[in-house]
Amino acid sequence: MISASSPSYKSWPYPLSEINFLTPKEEENVIFDCFGGVTQKKYFGSKQELLNGKTGNVLEAFTLAYNEDFHAFIDLVGAIESAKQSFCMVELGAGYGRWLALGANACNLMNKPLGTLIACEAEPTHYKWMQEHFRDNKLNPENHKLVWGIVSDQAGSLPFYAGKSDSWYGQSIAQNVIDYGAPASENFLKRIIKKMLGRSRHSVPDFPDFIDVPCYSLDSLLEKVSLVDFMHMDIQGAEFDVLSTSMETLNQKVKKIHVGTHSPDVEPTKGRDMDLLIYTLFQSHGWENINRIAPLSQQEYDGHTVHFVDGVQTWNNPRLQNN
């Protein structure tokens, strides 16, 4: 059962008190999460704060706690609870498949049947780790759809930042290369200056490499599924471009979506206000907003202050709530 010190959230529409969350624990090379899953520590190396927000305790990244993942855990558990058939989930910008594995193990803990898991990840080492992470959590990658690529609003391929896999999960489309046709390092001075001045809290390694990565539309990734119970999206500033070209598919197939929004300092945003653009987009298509937190902001929960680098928006699709 959830302990008395766990977060409370008055608008939760499902009985979290009935879920027997496990206590996360740490061993030499792995961490066991609150759903009984396992994660190898090599995926985040010595940079444990990458999975930890501002909590100061890496185990809090693997359970419901007051940190940047607070709403992601809430949204995931709620989507599983409301699934009418087998649970289908999509993770875009999947990294090593963290949220997909959490979802699969939560289904097991909550006695819900697991359906298809779909992932798209562009960083090649993260993609390799995702297949390994699936097997570690008793998931056969061949039974799901794991795609190496960029989810994009265009076909072909795009330059993508790669490398520093265990210390950086902010890889994105290399917009500088697209805009100027020059190595990213030649156009990185502005971002480094911003970082030094404290204008951006995004952790970016100096002068990253980039590679060409194939692109896939959201429509093509969802082509063979009829219903997605939950979509988790964290694609480092390209979110509006992808979403705005795929709203018809989202309206028809996706029941709930959790979107990480990014500040204008992230290259693929092209200086745009992602928070406002995405809010306006979903609102215009009749979706129900569950929460909206701006990038580089802070929120109070039961007297706890949570600092958000990336923003968060969660939306329910009213067309599919009975499915």
pLDDT at 61: 82
pLDDT at res. 198: 41
User: What is the reported pTM?
Assistant: 0.84
C-beta atoms surrounding 283 within 10 Å: 12
Q: Which helix (H) or strand (E) holds 323?
A: none
Least Cα distance to 135 among 34, 25, 38 occurs for: 38
pLDDT mean over 93-111 = 94
At 121-157, the pLDDT tens digits run 988 889 999 999 999 999 999 999 999 988 888 888 7
Which of residues 100 and 4 earns the better pLDDT score? Answer: 100
Furthest-apart CA pair in the chain: how many Å?
Answer: 55
| Residue 57 phi, psi (nearest 5) | -135, 115
pLDDT digits (tens, 9 = 90+) for 1-17: 333 344 544 444 455 65
166 Cβ contact list (under 8 Å, min separation 6): 42, 43, 44, 45, 47
In what helix (H) or strand (E) does residue 105 lie, and over which residues does it extend? helix 98-109
Instruction: Give 214-224 pLDDT, tens digit per residue.
Output: 889 999 999 99
User: Mean of the per-residue pLDDT values for the chain?
Assistant: 80
Q: How many CA atoms lie within 13 A of 28 on its CB side?
A: 0
Instruction: Give the pLDDT band of residue 285 (cuts 50, 70, 90).
Output: very high
Residues sharing a CB contact under 8 Å with residue 171, sequence separation 6 or more, in sequence order: 122, 123, 126, 160, 161, 162, 208, 236
pLDDT top residue among 184 and 89: 89
- The secondary structure of residue 171, as a DSSP letter, is -
Q: How far apart are CA 3 and CA 34, in angstroms?
A: 12
Lowest mean pLDDT among 49-63, 86-100, 177-191: 177-191
CATH H superfamily, domain 63-320: Vaccinia Virus protein VP39 (3.40.50.150)
Kindly report the CA angle at 311 between 210 and 286, in degrees rounded to 5? 110
Angle at 119 between CA 260 and CA 268, to 5 degrees: 40
- DSSP state for residue 254 in the 8-state scheme: B
d(CA 139, CA 141): 6
What 3-state DSSP class applies to 292?
strand
| 267, pLDDT greater than 70 | no
CB 33 within 8 A of CB 71: no
